[in-house]
Amino acid sequence: MAFPFMEAVVCFMILMYFLESYLDLRQHAALKLPTLPKTLVGVISQDKFEKSRAYSLDKSNFHFVHEFVTIVMDSAILFFGILPWFWKKSGNFLVLAGLDAENEIFHTLAFLAGVMFWSQITDLPFSLYSTFVIEERHGFNKQTVWLFFRDMIKGIALSVVIGPPIVAAIIIIVQKGGPYLAIYLWGFMFVLSLVMMTLYPILIAPLFNKFTPLPDGELRVKIEKLASSLKFPLKKLFVVDGSTRSSHSNAYMYGFFKNKRIVLYDTLLQQCKNDEEVVAVIAHELGHWKLNHTMYSFIAVQILTFLQFGGYTLVRNSKDLFQSFGFDTQPVLIGLIIFQHTVIPIQHLVSFGLNLVSRSFEFQADAFAKKLGYSSPLRAGLVKLQEENLSAMNTDPWYTAYHYSHPPLVERLAALDEPEKKVD
């Protein structure tokens, strides 16, 4: 008797839903606490705390509903054989359109088009509610309904342009890969990631946001001086109009080798009290670069990608696996989808481990900025960003250990306040 792979996957999905719901309930209880953590008393204003608490509880309530609907839909799609049914329907559609349904690339693209349409329709109510009710209610949303749908249409158009060549390439590689399939797939995805990392900031990101050079002035001089002192090959320094969509703030770096760029959200410049706070945030980001965190993360992703493809090659010809999910054929894309479902337990463990490493990296980057003499402005900047983004002040330790890629503000401030010798 064949192993019931599909039933095992659905059972694990439901088990993880209950586990994560328990953690969500713990976090919800922490968010309801009416007082600030002791270390933030006098640091965060009571007004900001009340607003943060209301915002966090709104998002938490929304999250409960969204996750419940998601697990019901995902479990039903697998348990009731919706995937194989839809695969057959997409083949029938090709026949009606006068196309070759036996061509796996055409069949796969038709299937993906239907999946994308379904995903857009089912996710749209949640996206609209999140943006125009929750974010609007708490003063974050800055975009109009027209801008929202324009972004959505642009995203769909990009998927239509970029997706088919990538899908076709993967199918061809799997069909012709032979014993070195995992290496070929990983090599293709490696090159693709480099190409996308190069093209995204130049061709794709400007479709959604306006990037303008940071004007000449004291802030620019300070950032360039800091970058130069660390031998960071800064080529361009941009400000992005994040305020057209949201008042949330951020800053990031990108680029290869000697062609690095720094992007500041205009909201970050508006929220920080002075240039020193902005420079301190940049010092933290430069710490990630100097300590090779970006490179370590990239290497980790490449290793995990290779291992995933290696696992896929071991099961891609398993007739029992496909039949368990209701398929009497073994299409490449379906094999990848099924494999992703079967390794969900491992993915949860990997995600947990990556979050542990990420939080460690954040502490190290904070310590790096502190060594550069930015302890006080970084502390002020972190507090300001916490306040302005209405981030959760009270958090549950189990929830943060499982979900957070960045340490809570209380822990970051405690680390910054430690004597210098403990940071070394």
Residues with catalytic roles: 285, 366
* CB 300, CB 373: distance < 8 Å: no
Annotated binding-site members: 284, 288, 362
Q: What is the DSSP string of 69-84?
A: HHHHHHHHHHHTTHHH
Instruction: Return the bridge partners of 213, or none.
Output: 238
Alpha-carbon torsion, ordered 152, 158, 159, 165, to 10 deg: 180
Cα 339 from Cα 307, distance rounded (Å): 12
Lookup: tokens for 329: 């054929």
The CB density around residue 65, as the number of other CB atoms within 10 Å, is 11
Give me the count of residues in the chain.
Answer: 424
Residues 6+ apart with CB under 8 A from 86: 111, 114, 115
- Token digits for 196? 């996308």
Long-range contacts of 160-163 (CB under 8 A, 24+ apart): 163/109, 163/112
The vertex-166 CA angle with 160 and 168, nearest 5°, equals 100
Annotation: binding site for Zn(2+): 284, 288, 362
CA distance 322 to 144: 45
Q: Where are the alpha helices (DSSP H) in 177-292?
A: 181-199, 218-229, 266-271, 275-290
**182, 241 in Cβ contact below 8 A?**
no
